[in-house]
Amino acid sequence: MNPEAFKKLCATYGADTQRWPEADRANIGELSNRHFAEMRQALDAETELDALLDAHKLEAPSAELASMILASAPQKAQTKEQAWSWWWPSLGLAGVGLAGVGLAGAVAGIMLVSLLTSPILFSGAADKGLSTSEIIDFGQDWR
Amino acid sequence: MIDPDGDLLPAIARGDQYAIKQMVARKLPRLLALATRMLGNRGEAEDVAQETFVRIWKHAAEWQPGQAKFDTWMHQVALNLCYDRLRARREYAEEDDSEQIDPALIPEEHLSAQQQRDKILAALSRLPSRQREALILQYYQELSNIEAATLMGISIDALESLLSRARRNMRTLLLDQGVSNK
């Protein structure tokens, strides 16, 4: 690599050499021993534009948008346990009427149904006033 | 080729809610950023993000590991949706031979952070479409030059030419017009 090629790379990819093609990054070390001042000048020329481009931050996706996207996702295939939950309440109630097992048995049946059919996910989360971060963690590495 | 998103797709196809949530957490900010900068309009960008996810859900079951990187495929889907909208506005040209653009931003000495962001988005919107696309893919989306060139269907040399013109024009539109980061 010569100083002209270095300047061209700066003008193309900016001052952060981590954004440069890997093969070009590998050649910088050798050049810097002989042309440090020229290289510094070329990098400085692009630094301010990079800082401006970096200043363009965007707002995080809204909770409403995340909820709509989650609601459009495939739903979990019904498991055997969930399929059984359809007739568990009838069984529980029938137990009360027919065998006189007592109220405790019916309550236990209903509690079991409740456990098996608890809601899976986030649809309607926006309606409950949840923030985006309560629905999903977007982390810090976006902009 | 190891695809960091590859493990999520079969789980998404099965309706695994954890995998679905992971995919939204990983990709929604990235997709929204791409579309916002391409279109210069947040509402339209949200529509593009939603539509892209509909396609992700639809194709999760058919995904063939090893054929393409998922993130690259997703960018292609989102870019195509952006192109459709830009074409409808007559703001997209496949060939981009414009060299210089006319700076028409009004210089302001003291800008708030929001005003500065608006100016940068306005400057991006004024770039010729192919220059804007190259800069967004390489700089903001942090794709490699090979990935960006592949998505745009051009050579590395052509991508580098677009990038250097895009940066030159952004300099004209921002720095030379008094928009600075100081």
What single string gives the DSSP state of each residue in chain A?
--HHHHHHHHHHH-S-GGGS-HHHHTTHHHHHHHHHHHHHHHHHHHHHHHHHHHT---PPPPHHHHHHHHHTSPPPPPPHHHHHTTTHHHHHHHIIIII---HHHHHHHHHHHHHHT---S-TTTGGGT--HHHH----S---
pTM of the model: 0.75
Spell out which residues of chain B touch residue A70, defining contact as CB-CB under 8 Å. 20-21, 24
Searching chain B, which residue's CA lies closest to the CA of residue A68? B50
The answer to whether the CB atoms of B24 and A8 lie below 8 A apart is: no
Indicate if ipTM > 0.90: no
pLDDT of residue A120: 31
With an 8 Å Cβ cutoff, is A139 touching chain B? yes
Q: Mean of the pLDDT values across residues B45-64?
A: 94
- Choose among B54, B60, B116: nearest Cβ to A55: B116
pLDDT of residue B103: 53
Disruptive mutation site among B12, B16, B21 for chain A (greatest number of A CBs within 10 Å):
B21
Give me the helix-helix angle, B113-126 and B17-39, nearest 10°.
Answer: 70
How many CB contacts within 8 angstroms connect chain A with chain B? Answer: 124
The answer to whether the CB atoms of A56 and B53 lie below 8 A apart is: no
Tokens of A90: 């009838």
The alpha carbon of residue A93 is apart from the nearest alpha carbon of chain B, in Å, by: 32
pLDDT of residue B104: 54
Contact B147, B72 (CB under 8 A): yes
pLDDT of residue B93: 62
Least confident of A93-97, A138-142, B16-20, B163-167: A93-97
Spell out which residues of chain A touch residue B20, defining contact as CB-CB under 8 Å. 70, 73-74, 121
With an 8 Å Cβ cutoff, is A80 touching chain B? no
The answer to whether the CB atoms of A142 and B113 lie below 8 A apart is: no
- d(C-alpha B135, C-alpha A44), whole Å: 19
Disruptive mutation site among B139, B168, B170, B173 for chain A (greatest number of A CBs within 10 Å):
B139
The alpha carbon of residue A85 is apart from the nearest alpha carbon of chain B, in Å, by: 19
Give me the helix-helix angle, B156-173 and B145-152, nearest 10°.
Answer: 100
- d(C-alpha B24, C-alpha A138), whole Å: 8
The answer to whether the CB atoms of A48 and B175 lie below 8 A apart is: yes
Spell out which residues of chain B touch residue A143, defining contact as CB-CB under 8 Å. 33, 140
The answer to whether the CB atoms of A121 and B25 lie below 8 A apart is: no
Tell me the pLDDT of chain A (143 aa) as tens digits.
Answer: 888 999 999 999 999 999 999 888 888 877 777 888 888 888 998 999 999 999 998 999 999 999 999 999 988 765 555 444 444 444 444 444 444 444 444 444 444 343 333 333 333 333 333 445 555 666 544 45
The alpha carbon of residue B86 is apart from the nearest alpha carbon of chain A, in Å, by: 21
